[in-house]
């Protein structure tokens, strides 16, 4: 019988790519999510019955154990960018990760992969970064041989980074950003999935790997590249720190005042604290080269999914060509 992997958060942005690759490797894939009915898009990744979404709440021991039973490998992709209800950074990133690792050790799971983030630091200003570090520590305490992946900002067709800012260009001639000089090392989502598969199948040694793409660019430079891809001219406005704090505070208060019916998907104060530090691979850290992976560049992927934000969408190149011919006539 083929081996079984349980992927917690396997229907999300990163998880779905890992699920697809594990299915291609011939594994049975159990996708553990809070809302299985919203995860049916993972089923076609394999033959009928190979990839199945199942219910799980990572805050509950019995729920985590039930979906892990019989698994040969475990991947934890669960994470939140904004705290909502009981899904706090601590409950998800620290306690949830520790719970999965503890139960994996008890169940005799062969390999465990934890998706963390560059910037995970117990002494960071950001609660997000501190709880990511706490989650790593908990994982290594219970499962010392785990593979921990720390990606920089992840890009791909379903990302919440370039898609969000490209969408904003449809609404205003100004594109406001915070901490425009902060540097990132964007990494393609499928490259992260390749690394996770190596960890899950036992092909990668345990330890922490920092994953960054071939380019290091500032926030402003990334926005300039995005604008070039979508053929739009916009004024990139890097907000002063105090102005950005006011924006973040306002949206945080709106979320609180609405009893979290309105979630802050614009900018939180904790995200602003994270933006104080560069999001790049540390010198001397293990990374893609140690895994035998050559990361894909932004230039090779962005046009494949950002074309929909161009003024004429998929016909923008044709429209521009016709305009040039008309002007040259």
Confidence of residue 310 (pLDDT cuts 50, 70, 90): very high
pLDDT of 217 > 80? The answer is yes
Which residue blocks in 111-264 are alpha helix, DSSP H? Answer: 127-142, 162-168, 189-200, 219-229, 241-257
Q: Is the dihedral of CA 291, 301, 119, 280 positive or negative?
A: positive
Residues near 275 by Cβ (< 8 Å), separated by ≥ 6?
Answer: 178, 179, 182, 219
Q: What's the whole-number mean pLDDT along residues 286-307?
A: 97
Q: What was the pLDDT predicted at 312?
A: 81
pLDDT tens digit string along 235-255?
Answer: 999 999 999 999 999 999 999
pLDDT of 327 > 90? The answer is no
Parallel, antiparallel or unpaired: strands 183-184 and 217-218: antiparallel
Confidence of residue 326 (pLDDT cuts 50, 70, 90): low
What percent helix, strand, coil does the chain show, rounded to 5? 45, 15, 35
Confidence of residue 22 (pLDDT cuts 50, 70, 90): very high
Measured CA to CA, the distance from residue 33 to residue 30 in angstroms comes to 10
Q: What's the whole-number mean pLDDT along residues 18-24?
A: 98
What average pLDDT does the chain have? 95
Please report the domains of the chain, with CATH numbers, ordered by start residue.
Answer: 4-158+185-215+278-295 (3.40.50.720)
Confidence of residue 314 (pLDDT cuts 50, 70, 90): confident
N-terminal to C-terminal alpha carbon distance within the chain: 68
Q: Is 144 helix (H, G, I), strand (E, B) or coil?
A: coil
pLDDT of 115 > 70? The answer is yes
Confidence of residue 79 (pLDDT cuts 50, 70, 90): very high
The CA-based angle 206-209-212, given to 5 degrees, is 160
pLDDT of 313 > 90? The answer is no
Parallel, antiparallel or unpaired: strands 235-239 and 174-178: parallel
Residues near 162 by Cβ (< 8 Å), separated by ≥ 6?
Answer: 155, 222, 226, 302, 306
pLDDT of 234 > 70? The answer is yes
Residues near 74 by Cβ (< 8 Å), separated by ≥ 6?
Answer: 5, 6, 7, 8, 68, 100, 104, 109, 111, 112, 113, 200
Q: Please give the model's pTM, rounded to 2 decimal places.
A: 0.94
pLDDT tens digit string along 131-177?
Answer: 999 999 999 999 999 999 999 999 999 999 999 999 999 999 999 99
């Amino acid at each position: 019988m083929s081996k079984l992997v349980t992927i917690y958060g396997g229907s999300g942005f990163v998880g779905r790519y890992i699920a697809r690759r594990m299915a291609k490797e011939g594994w049975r894939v159990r996708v553990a999510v809070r809302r299985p009915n919203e995860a049916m898009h993972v089923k076609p990744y394999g033959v009928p019955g190979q990839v199945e979404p199942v219910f799980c709440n990572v805050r509950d021991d019995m729920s985590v154990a039930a979906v892990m039973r019989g698994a040969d490998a475990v991947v934890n992709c669960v994470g939140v960018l904004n705290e909502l209800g009981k899904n706090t950074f601590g409950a998800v990133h620290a306690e949830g990760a520790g719970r999965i690792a503890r139960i994996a050790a008890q169940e005799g799971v062969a390999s465990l992969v934890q998706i963390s983030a560059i910037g995970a630091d117990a002494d960071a200003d950001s609660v997000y970064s501190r709880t990511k570090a706490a989650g790593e520590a908990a994982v290594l305490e219970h499962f010392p041989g785990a593979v921990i992946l720390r990606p920089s900002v992840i890009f791909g067709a379903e990302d919440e980074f370039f898609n969000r800012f490209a969408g904003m260009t449809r609404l205003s001639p100004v594109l406001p950003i915070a901490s425009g000089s902060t540097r990132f090392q964007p990494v393609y989502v499928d490259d992260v999935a390749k690394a996770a598969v190596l960890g899950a199948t036992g092909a990668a040694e345990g330890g922490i790997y920092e994953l960054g793409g071939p380019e290091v660019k500032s926030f402003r430079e990334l926005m300039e590249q995005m604008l070039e891809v979508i053929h739009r001219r916009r004024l990139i406005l890097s907000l002063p720190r105090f102005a950005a704090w006011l924006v973040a505070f306002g949206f945080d208060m709106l979320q609180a005042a609405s009893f979290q019916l309105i979630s802050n998907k614009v900018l939180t104060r904790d995200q602003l604290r994270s933006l104080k530090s560069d999001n790049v691979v540390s010198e001397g850290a293990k990374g893609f080269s140690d895994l035998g992976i050559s990361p894909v560049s932004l230039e090779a992927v962005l046009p494949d999914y950002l074309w929909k934000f161009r003024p004429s969408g998929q016909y923008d190149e044709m429209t521009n060509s016709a305009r040039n011919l008309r002007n040259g006539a």
